[in-house]
Structure 1
Amino acid sequence: MADIINLLPDNIANQIAAGEVIQRPASAVKELLENAVDAGATEIQLIIRDAGKELIQVIDNGKGMSETDARMCFERHATSKIKTIDDLFQIRTMGFRGEALASIAAVAQVELKTRMHNAELGTYLEIDNSVIKKQEPCQTAEGTSIAMKNLFFNVPARRNFLKSNAAEMRHVVDEFIRVAMAFPQIQFSLNSNSQNLFYLEKGSLKQRIIAILGQHYNARLVSVKESTDYMDVHGFVGKPETAKKTRGDQFFFVNNRFIKSPYLHHAIMNAFAEMIPADSYPLYVLFIDLDPAHVDINVHPTKQEIKFDDEKVMYAFVQAAVKHALAQFNITPTLDFELDPGIQQLDAVSKPFTEQQQAKSVNTSLYKSFTQANQAHTIDTNNSNLRHWKDLYEIGKSAPDTGSRAPREESPVSSTPVSSSLSGGFESRSSTASMIDERWQDTTIDQKVPVQVHQQYILSQIKSGFILIDQQAAHERILYERYQRALQDSPVPTQQSLFPQTLPLLPADAALITEMLPELQVLGYDLEPFGNNTFVVRGTPADIQSGNEQASIEGLLEQFKNFSTELKVNRREQLVRSMARNNAIPAGKSLSTREMQNIIDELFACSMPNAAPGGKYTYISFKLADLAKMFGA
């Protein structure tokens, strides 16, 4: 029988490995920037064309590579970081596995120029599909310049799965910010399609945060700094007023490596408990430094998910550090034990309590009620202040009721003795029913008026029984169809703001909004780019409450970025669904009778009133026959 197991050729093996490391242009950006940092660079330049699909180039002034190293760095598992197994548990560099450049060379056309500081000439390499096409000496600046062109040119299926340029650029900016935030002592710049998006000078961590996230954070950052023998935590958190409805201003770094940790994020949220709304996210940029032996960073190809040997200690320490920082800067509520100077001027404090005053106080009924046994509820009937209470009560009891509502009295049903209600048969039941009817005869309640249940559902009577409407799901369906019609032929009316607001956004969010501007304008948003990732909000859809413009756009962004569905929908559909979900009346909001009736009327005017866009039921009907069965009739 012939053998059937063979070794894969290197180029195919590299392409398979590249699927784990290089998933999109942003993945290559991360690896190339981290290599530049490891090379000891003090200036790093990132150049992007066509959101990285056409070109990703990183230029640094690091130590460069020799001719042999330049050739070897593209081999799989070729690394200068690990020589023994013990080195794997003492990693302090960004890259160490030797897979990044080999993976990049397997799915792109690569050009490398590098020169060491003490060398007269550098090395030029040209690689195509893991095959070296050219290697020769060249004149180049000290450091390394690596350019990868036409990403996934040889894997068309993977290239087809890439998102739009705006979406991919958002991921590229995210990776750039994460590396730049971790190393404020390095100068970074980002150029996209010949446009400078970032130029970050060397400086302190606070200066880097402000340069990336915006000048408006300058006076709103709280310093965090705690040290123990086990670990150190330092960085900044934002004051409660900086909390946003959208994620994006949250950064955790472990030994200068960006990580994603829902567990530690929960610790921060607990530290901010009761200071920010439950659906908001605080700003934080926190660095955790600890012995690499206590952390395993080799659990995920992107190294963004790591494991700690004692997560509970990490959780408690991070939470305590943030709470301490907020308390130090008087952010958390505190008790003020200092006496008000004005109290010292009161007679009760400044003047002596004479014996005559003491004797007078002892004889009062108020004093006796608190000093004599069982006298706490004593009422002095001789007190002139209480003398007329009985008359007032008698007047109130005998006064006729002039209001439209019946006087409040005990229910006839509850006041009837149990024995008589059981022995009286139909006669007692009919008399009780007539008393209840008389009680409600004078009311003006219309039985068909909708009723709100627990500020979440709307109960409405129909001929065959009644329906129970989910107010949020129903309003979401109404808005969804309204926005769909707007995109087709009838734009949503815009409510112009009396005072236009400026809306600063994260660079990634600004790129997303820029991509969606045409659709947003049709849907009623009047936005205009204002430079430096800022927009001017001149108007919002007419059905959005005035003054709520920023929260509306931030909520829309959050819904859009975290939109999930089993079906693959286009960007317009995703935007319409996100906008309907964000602007729908939430559960817990009290509605007037007119508002409830409007929801009912508009819901049943929809083309598909029975379900929200995501598939959730908008209402459930209850028939009289079914109700009778429930009661055993």
Structure 2
Amino acid sequence: MRIKQLSPSLANQIAAGEVIERPASVVKELLENSLDAESKYIDIFLESGGSRLIKIRDQGGGIAKQDLALALSRHATSKIATISDLESVGTLGFRGEALASIASVSRLTLTSNNGDDNIGWSITSNNEIRAEKQSRGTSVEVRDLFYNVPARRKFLRTERTEYLRIDEIVRKVSICRPEINITLSNDGKITRNYRASSSNEDKMRRLRDAFGQGFTENAIYLDEHRENIRLSGWVSLPTYSRSQADQQYFFVNSRVIRDKLIAHAVKRAYSDVLYQSRQPVFALFLDIDPTAVDVNVHPTKNEVRFRDSREVHDFIFGVLHKRLGDVSPRELLKKPNLDQYSSIPTQSKFVMEGPSQDLRSNTAIHKNQMPLKGVSEIISDHSDDMPPLGYALAQLHGIYILAQNEHGLVIVDMHAAHERIIYERLKIAEKDLKMQPLLIPVTIAVAPSEVNVVDLFSNELMALGIELSIASEESLIIRAIPSLLPVSNAEQLVRDVLSDLVEFGSMIKIHEKKDDILSTMACHGSVRANRKLSLEEMNALLRAMEETKRSAQCNHGRPTFSLLTVSELDGLFLRGR
């Protein structure tokens, strides 16, 4: 079979298959053109979820009449001209493919005016040019998408599904470009109206529209920069997470991107504060020198490559890890409206009439009974010096510490809390972890593979504060363990650490998983269930939690404490109803 040159229309349809997948792809490309034209107002009109009509109107710089035909040609653009321009792209679009691709699979009409009068010019997919009434800016009308590609059209979803995909695109743009007014209409009804905003309050309003009220109430702001790189935005507290990664927005130089490197950095930052496979919610903005990032990776421009990917990864991880570590119990226990407590009455003495009254009145406890204080009085007594986690009241079933703070009742999982405290101390002391020699060395039976691990990684074990010697092919002698951990758990500690080393297998993996090994060690060093604690010990644990980073979660991501406010307790007993 002879080689043939494809016709321009067929070549455009093939190219459109990469760029234009569905109505949302059209909206994305046209929105990027409007943003590059520096329009402050963008209106989007849809019919049938975009499958019948997509119309986008902006007030940007417009296109000159003599450039209209060229605008619908492949690889024609005003945004780059040389190789050096391609290496430092500062605009969202640059490939010159979008309009040509859209025109090849739809009935397109492009109308534009780059002057101050109201006379513009329009061009259709058939290259017919005529004068039209048009204010300064550009209007693109796309009708009957994929009308000439039936195979693609039948793969479109329902009108609502296609609309929701467009809504997602518009939502992302509204978050990264808060200074732009954007309206979205579907079948004649305005569904979104994003007004331009400059203050943080307005930006939070857009975030609330995108992620919901729950996110804005559980989000923390960050803004860090180093030389020519800056990371800012909002991330969810570890206590607010989702089962899916569907609310994770990352922008590089105002471009929405998906990147495994960035996803890994965020995942690592949350690794020891999120429970199992839960996913954080975030909207993060990375500003970086355009010459340090390659955006010419994929036709959809959703992927990028960084010139120094390790530096970017470590910067993102470091900023997020530090910010999450700085979240204190005081920040988590957001102060409720205490005015609602002011009307809570003090509880009167409980008096029963009848013969039993004399019996009770003779007991010592009732002879010395003091009137019970109301919650409002207790709060006022300690309002000036009450710590965030309050003061311990009692221990429940040897598992939980019950404490009272200014908001209500704090319930602490003492093992989980102590585990986090030990873990953070081990991480701090890791470089100079002191060992405590065992008065009587312990001999344990192990598998031959574990003996080999000790032989291979004896230096790494010493760095972890564990000294082992080989007694035989199937036994080891424990001579020392970290001084931060109790001697009573030495055997099980060593077995679990050896199990981790066998699993990770190589030096690289061991360095990557060192925190997991320290977590295992911390688990064995923490207080166990059914251990009776005095009030002094319980309060010492609460104070240590307040001083420890990431103390709201244990090493496995489980919460370490929970708060029941007075109003929530009132609800349990139907008070005030």
Is 2:319 the partner of 1:321?
A: yes
**How far does residue 180 in structure 1 lie from its aligned partner after superposition?**
2.0
The corresponding residue for 2:252 is 254
- 1:578-607: CA deviations, max 9, x gaps? xxxxxxxxxxxxxxxxxxxxxxxxxxxxxx
Residue 28 of structure 2 corresponds to 30
Letter in 1 for 2:154: N
2:69 maps to 71
Of the three residues 170, 180, 188, the one matched with 2:182 is: 188
The answer on whether the counterparts of 2:12 and 2:74 sit within 8 Å (CA) in structure 1 is yes
SS at match of 2:217: coil
In structure 2, the partner of 1:153 is 147
- Structure 1 residues 342 and 244: alpha-carbon distance in aligned structure 2, compared to 1, 3 A threshold: closer
Cα displacement (A) at 1:332:
11
Per the normalisation by structure 1, the TM-score is: 0.50
State the shift of 1:120 in Å. 4.4
TM-aligned CA distance change 1:340 to 1:282, over 3 Å = closer
SS in 2 for 1:303: coil
Cα distance change of structure 1 residues 236 and 75 upon mapping to structure 2, 3 Å threshold: same
**CA separation in 1, counterparts of 2:218 and 2:138?**
39
Q: Which amino acid aligns with 2:114?
A: M
| CA distance in structure 2 between the partners assigned to 1:219 and 1:323 by the alignment | 20
Bigger-Rg structure (1/2): 1
C-alpha contact (below 8 Å) 1:21/1:301 kept by paired residues: yes
What letter is aligned with 1:253?
F
Residue 35 of structure 2 aligns with an amino acid whose one-letter code is V
Q: Aligned-pair distance for 1:331?
A: 6.4
Q: Map 1:458-477; keep pairs closer than 5 Å.
A: none
Matched, 1:49 2:50: no
Aligned equivalents of 1:246 and 1:234: distance in 2?
23
Measure how far apart 1:259 and its partner are.
Answer: 0.6
1:54/1:120 CA distance change after superposition, 3 Å: closer
Q: Using a 3 Å threshold, how does the CA distance of structure 1 residues 38 and 309 change in structure 2: closer, same or farther?
A: same
Per the TM alignment, residue 67 of structure 1 is displaced from its structure 2 partner at its CA by: 0.7
Corresponding position of 1:162: 156
Q: Assess if the C-alpha contact under 8 Å between 1:225 and 1:325 holds in 2.
A: no
Q: Alignment partner of 1:282: what SS?
A: coil
| Residue matched to 1:570 | none
Q: Distance in 2 between matches of 1:211 and 1:89?
A: 36
Structure 1: how far apart are the matches of 2:219 and 2:84? 40
Match of 1:265 among 251, 263, 266: 263
The aligned runs of 1:66-465 (5 Å cut-off) are 66-127=64-125, 131-132=126-127, 134-204=128-198, 205-330=203-328
For residues 86 and 226 of structure 1, what CA distance do their matches in structure 2 show?
29
State the SS of the aligned residue for 2:313: helix
Amino acid at match of 2:44: L
Tell me the TM-score normalised to structure 2 length: 0.55
Deviation for aligned residue 1:341: 12
Q: Match of 1:178, SS?
A: helix
Contact 1:275/1:332, CA 8 A, preserved across alignment: no
Gapped regions of structure 2 (runs ≥ 5) = 333-386, 393-438, 441-577
Following TM superposition, by how much is the alpha carbon of 1:242 offset from its aligned partner in structure 2, in angstroms?
2.3
The alpha-carbon deviation at position 266 of structure 1 amounts to: 2.2
Q: Shift of residue 74 of structure 1?
A: 0.5
Any idea what the Cα deviations from partners look like across 1:235-294, whole Å, max 9, x if unmatched? 111122321113221011111111112321222122223322222111111111111121
Q: Secondary structure at the match of 1:96?
A: coil
C-alpha spacing 1:125/1:309, structure 2 compared with 1 (3 Å):
same
For the Cα contact (< 8 Å) 1:326–1:332, is it kept in 2?
no
Distance across 2 between alignment mates of 1:311 and 1:178: 24
Letter in 2 for 1:48: L
Letter in 2 for 1:162: L
CA distance in 2, matches of 1:57, 1:342: 62
Paired amino acid for 1:292: P
C-alpha separation in 2, matches of 1:176 and 1:263: 25
**What is the rounded CA distance, in whole Å, between the counterparts of 1:30 and 1:162 in structure 2?**
17
Q: d(CA) in 1 for partners of 2:293 and 2:389? A: 52
Higher relative contact order (CA 8 A, sep 6+): 2
Deviation per CA, 1:465-489: give whole Å up to 9, x if none.
xxxxxxxxxxxxxxxxxxxxxxxxx
- Cα distance between partner residues in 1 of 2:388 and 2:141: 68
Q: Give the Cα–Cα distance (whole angstroms) in 2 for the partners of residues 293 and 332 of structure 1.
A: 42
Cα deviation digits, residues 99-152 of structure 1 (max 9, x gap) = 00000000000112211243441112222xxx22x3111211221111100001
Which amino acid in 2 is paired with 1:321? V
Q: Distance in 2 between matches of 1:236 and 1:100?
A: 32
The one-letter code of the counterpart of 1:93 is T
Native 8 Å contact 1:200 1:211 kept in 2? no
The share of aligned pairs that are identical, in percent, is: 34
Q: How far off is 1:188 after superposition? A: 1.1
Q: How many residues align?
A: 336
SS in 2 for 1:218: helix
TM-superposed deviation, 1:18: 0.7
